[in-house]
Amino acid sequence: MSLLSILGVISSAIFSGTSLLYTTWGEILDERAGIVNLGLEGVLLVSASTGFAVAARSGNPYIGVLAAMLAGGLMNLLFGFMVITRRANQLASGLALMFFGFGLSALIGKPYTGTMIKGMPRFIFPGLAGIPALSTSQFKFDVLIYLAVPITILIWWLLFRTRWGLSLRAVGENANTAFAAGYNPRLIQYQTLFVCGLLTGLGAAHLSIAWTMTWAEYMTAGRGFIAVALVIFSKWHPVRAIAGALLFGGAVAFQLLLQAMGIAISPFLLDTIPYILTLLVLIAWGGTRRHAAPASLGRVYQGSE
C-alpha cells in the first residue's frame, strides 16, 4: 500500500466523515442536555434536501448551506415540541422524526434529483501548499471541512467555558436540581436542540452540496445512527468525536480502496464494514463508558407544571 493510497484513505475519510462529525457534535450537545435524538437520520435528510433545493433554486451554494442549517433547526424544534412540551417517549419520538424526515425529504427533493448545482470551491489549506505530498488534489477540501477546526474549539468552549454550557450539562445530569438552581430546563433543552439542528444541517449541507453535489432519497445511509454511536465512542466529548468520524469515514473509504486495489472480496460484504465497526465500537465501549453519560440521559423532565 503506497503512501498515495494511505493519504487517499485519509482524504476520503475526511470527506466522508465531515457530515458525520457535525451531526455527532449536535448529538453530543443534545445528550449532554439529557435528550437522545434517534431521528437525526430524518433531520439530516430534510436538511440535505432543503439545502440542495435552495442551492439549486438560488444558484448559490452558501445560501443552500444556511437553508440546510435552518431546516435542521426547525426539524429539531419539532422534536423538541414532542419530547419537551408533550413529554413523549424520546426513543419513539426520535424514530417518528426519522420516518417524518424520510417522507418530507423525498417530497422536498423530488423535483431536484439530477439538478446540477454550483458546488463549493475546493482548495488546499494555504499553509500546506509547501509540502509536496500534501499538495495533491487529494487534499483540496471545501470550506465546510476547514470550518470544522474552529467549530471544534467553539463547541468545546460553549460546552465547558460558558454559563450556557454549564446549565446545559446541569440539566443533563439532573433537571430538577438545575431547576432548583434557577435554570429553566425546558428552555435550555429547546435551545440545545436548535443548535444541534443547526450543526446537523451543516453536516447535511456538506453531504449534498459540497461533497456529492446531488440529492437522492435516503442518501445519508444511516449516518444519523452512526452519530449516536459515535457520541458514546467519544465519551460525550467534542474533540474525541473527530477520531470517531475519521474512523467511520475511513472505513467507507478503506472498503473502496480494497476494491480499487483488486482485493478479492465481494463489495457487498465490504459494505457492511462501517456498520459492524460501529457495532463493535458500541460493544467495546458502550458498557464501560456508560458511567460517563449524563445521568438524566433519556429521562423525560416532568417539571412542576
Partner 1 sequence: MKNKLIHSTLAIVMVAAVLLAACGPAATPVPLETSAPVEPTVAPTEVPTEAPPCLTIGALYVGSVNDAGYNQAMHDGLMEVQNNIPCVKIIEAENIWEGPAAETTMETMIQEGASLIFATSFGHQEPAMNVAKKHPDVIFEHAGGWMMDANFANFYGKPPETFYLMGVAAGLMTQSNKLGFVAAMPLGWTLTFVNSFELGAQSVNPDAETIVTFTGSWSDRAKEAAATDALINQGVDVVTMHVDSPATVIQTAEARGVYSIGFQSLAAQQFAPEYWISGAGFTFGGLMTGMAQDVIDGKWEPQFIRCGVADGCMAIAPFGPKVPQEVQDKFNAVLAELEGGTLVLFKGPIVDQDGTIRVPEGEVLSDEDMGNVDWFVKGVIGQPK
Partner 2 sequence: MSQITSTPSRSSTSVLIAVQVIVRYLFIFLIALVLFGMILVIAGKNPLAAISDTLSFTLGSTFGFSEVIVKMIPLVFTAIAVALPSRVVLINVGAEGQLYMGAWLAAWGALTFTSLPAWALLPLMALLGMIGGSLWALIPAFLRARGLVNETITTLLMNYVAPSIVTFFIYGPWRSRGDALFPQTADFVPAARLPAFFGTRVHFGLILALILLVLYWFIMKYTRWGLEMRAIGGNPQAARRNGIPLTTYIIVIMCLGGAFAGLAGMSEISGIHGRLRPGFSPGFGYMGFLISWLSGGNPIGILIMSFVAALISAGADILQINQGLPYAVVNLLLAITLFVVLAHPTFLKGKKA
Among 182, 266, 291, 305, binds partner 2 (CB under 8 A): 266
Among 129, 154, 261, 276, binds partner 2 (CB under 8 A): 276
Task: Write the binding mask 160 to 199 for partner 2: x where contact by CB under 8 A, - elsewhere.
Answer: ----------------------------------------
4 binds, among partner 1, partner 2, none (CB under 5 to 8 A by kind): partner 1
- Cα separation, 292 vs 255, whole angstroms: 32
DSSP, collapsed to helix, strand or coil, labels residue 213 as coil
- Cα separation, 294 vs 283, whole angstroms: 19
**Do residues 174 and 296 lie in contact, with contact meaning Cβ atoms separated by under 8 Å?**
yes
Q: What is the DSSP letter of 208?
A: I
- Cα separation, 204 vs 46, whole angstroms: 8
- Cα separation, 23 vs 155, whole angstroms: 12
C-alpha distances (whole Å) from 55 to each of 29, 62, 67, 150, 183 are: 28, 7, 8, 24, 39
| Residue number with CB closer to partner 1 (6 or 295) | 6
278 binds, among partner 1, partner 2, none (CB under 5 to 8 A by kind): partner 2
Q: How far is the CB of 79 from partner 2 (least distance, A)?
A: 10
| Residue number with CB closer to partner 1 (81 or 285) | 81
Q: How far is the CB of 213 from partner 1 (least distance, A)?
A: 5
Enumerate binding residues for partner 1 (CB under 8 A): 4-5, 7-9, 11-12, 15-16, 46, 50, 53-54, 56-57, 67, 70-71, 74-75, 77-78, 81, 85, 104, 107-108, 110-116, 119, 122, 137-138, 140, 207, 211-214, 216-217, 219-221, 252-253, 256-257, 259-268, 271, 305
- Cα separation, 120 vs 210, whole angstroms: 6
- Cα separation, 272 vs 66, whole angstroms: 33
Q: How far is the CB of 100 from partner 1 (least distance, A)?
A: 10
- Furthest CA-CA distance within the chain: 64
Q: Does residue number 23 form part of the binding site for partner 2 (CB under 8 A)?
A: no
